[in-house]
Amino acid sequence: MLLTMDSLLRKVLSQAHVEQNQHYPPHIYDEHFNLATKWLVDECAKIFPSRQSVLEVIKSFMEYKDVRVQNGIIPLPENHRHTIGISIFVAPDYSCACDRPEDFDNDPLQPTELEVKRARLKNRSISKNVTLVQQSEWDDLTSHPYKKPTLKKPIACIFADEGIRIFPEDVPVVELRYIRQPKDCKYGYAMNPDDTYSWNPATTAESEWGDTATTYLFKAVNTLYAMYVRDQEQRDAALELKKIGLF
């Protein structure tokens, strides 16, 4: 079941003992909801997968995609926000990394000999997780004279200016598991004669969260709402969120 923006707004206003919603303008609620969404996504990414319960909260934003490696670099999808895992496909004897048959660089009717080999191996390949390391570890491991990473123990490292680099560098394709960017939500409404407003689902850009996120989003939005009615500066909102301790 999806969490609706209207249901969360009602919870926040009932907690604040406010009968009329003119105390919480829709455009302010939009800002709070979207800020809380991005913050909750980031918090889930920090502790995934150490707690299985986080999966139930963040699953709406998780994606798995085959990404072709370009000169040892894994280009990030446009909707990428956090990497949560990488795997490669290798031959059972670790003689080479395997390709996806549908991802031929050349004309699929005339694949190269190497592409044919990799495609055939894919039918009996095994999946191997790639270890994400810090840049200092990357430098040490990739420059070691005889203990460099292999297909048995591949590594990857996030470089801000390049994306994700992988070693061995001749891996043709990876399965990238990541958390995507959330879309901006907007509360659709119609004004009432008494200056309150009513929810209009037809003009609402609805939440992507499941109801498992209700408790966490309520804490976040309720905190921001309390700050708003005290006329706190909006720039303090992000700092205040860190004090909640959702998990």
Mean pLDDT of the chain: 84
What's residue 120's pLDDT? 55
Measured over the CA atoms of residue 2, residue 31, residue 184 and residue 22, the dihedral's sign is positive
- Given a cut of 50, whether residue 213 has pLDDT beyond it is yes
pLDDT value, residue 228: 84
Q: How many CB atoms lie within 10 A of CB 33?
A: 24
Half-sphere exposure of 138 (CA within 13 A, CB side): 17
Spatial CA neighbour of 20 closest among 226, 188, 231, 194 = 194
Q: Where are the alpha helices (DSSP H) in 48-206?
A: 52-58, 113-122, 135-142
d(CA 137, CA 121): 31
Residue with tokens 């829709």: 26
Range of lowest pLDDT (108-112, 173-177, 194-198): 108-112
Where residue 98 falls among pLDDT bands split at 50, 70, 90?
A: confident
Say what the pTM is. 0.80
CA distance 61 to 179: 5
pLDDT, residue 129, reads 95
Q: Could you state, in order of their start, the residue ranges of all structural domains in the chain?
A: 5-51+183-241, 70-171
